[in-house]
Amino acid sequence: MPSGTAPMNPPWTPLMRKLDQLESQNKVLKNGIKEHEGTVAEARLAIGELRQQLSSAEDALRRTVGELQSETTHNEKRSRLGIHNWSRRGWSDTPPIGGDRLSHVKRLWNSPGFEHKQAVAEADIVIKVNGILGETLLEAMLLKAAILRDYAFCVSSPLEDLGRSYLETALALIQEVVEQCNGVIHLPTIWERRTKARFHMGLCLFEMCRYADAVRVLRGCAEEAKTKGHRDESNMYIALAQVELELERQRGQRKRKGPSDRGANAAAGATPKKKRIS
């Protein structure tokens, strides 16, 4: 190398400087990524906690809504039928019997929690205590039947197995009450019990969708009823059953005359098109 000449840098020196810059930038990026990953992890943890809180809140809300819907649905059924209150107009003039025991059964039945099982159990106690005779027995049997009929709407549809079994048990109890009343029908209070039992029989048949039988029983109840309340309630359910019978008749007609039949009739009555002569 000649004297006085500055040393020359190797040709790769600019590349090394560039590499150093890139490595420095890479370190900065890696540090930024680590910080970002830490932030993301914290955010994910916070989101997970929020989701748990939201899920708990949704579960609590569903439970609350479910309880409200259950109570509302049952109240709607009671008010729609208008027959579940033992003191309903028309039946309140029936002489009360059974004393505190039956009053306790009625309170359980009409309590806000609808204690049907407990009410039925208490009615069973009254039935067993009173043996096989007496108006208290008839009242307890009829009350138990009415509670079972109401209970059928709480546990399932009346046409499902569980609901139907409750209605069938209620109907059997009512039939037994009617048979016992027939033996001593000359007593005025027994006549009222028999009318009341036949009314509940008609309601059971109505709710079991045996509308023709319901109309027959309720007509007899309306004819022998001694109060306007009895007659009005009987006639109301006769009218409802007749509406259901008419709807059944219309559905049967539509089923017999299906869309294929109508299409065939239309095709049979159609005038065939003439071929065009060119």
Q: What is the pLDDT of residues 7-64, one digit of tens each?
A: 566 666 777 777 778 888 888 888 888 887 778 778 888 887 888 877 777 777 776 6
The total of other beta-carbon atoms located within 10 Å of residue 201's CB is: 25
- Give the integer Cα–Cα distance in Å for 4 and 272: 118
Which has the higher per-residue pLDDT, 67 or 116?
A: 116
The confidence score (pLDDT) of residue 261 equals: 52
- Give the integer Cα–Cα distance in Å for 166 and 119: 14
**What's the distance, Cα to Cα, between the start and end of the chain in Å?**
111
The burial of 50, by beta-carbon neighbours within 10 Å (0-12 exposed, 13-18 middle, 19 or more buried), is given as exposed
Instruction: Specify the amino acid at residue 198.
Output: R
- Give the integer Cα–Cα distance in Å for 48 and 106: 51
Per the confidence metrics, is the pTM higher than 0.85? no
- Give the integer Cα–Cα distance in Å for 206 and 152: 13
Which has the higher per-residue pLDDT, 154 or 245?
A: 245
Instruction: Give the mean pLDDT of 168-193.
Output: 81
* Nearest by Cα to 177 from 127, 222, 147, 137: 137
Q: What digits encode the pLDDT tens for the residues 70-111?
A: 544 544 544 444 444 433 333 333 444 445 667 778 787 777
Sign of CA dihedral 214, 82, 166, 156: positive
* Nearest by Cα to 189 from 90, 93, 89: 93
The burial of 168, by beta-carbon neighbours within 10 Å (0-12 exposed, 13-18 middle, 19 or more buried), is given as middle
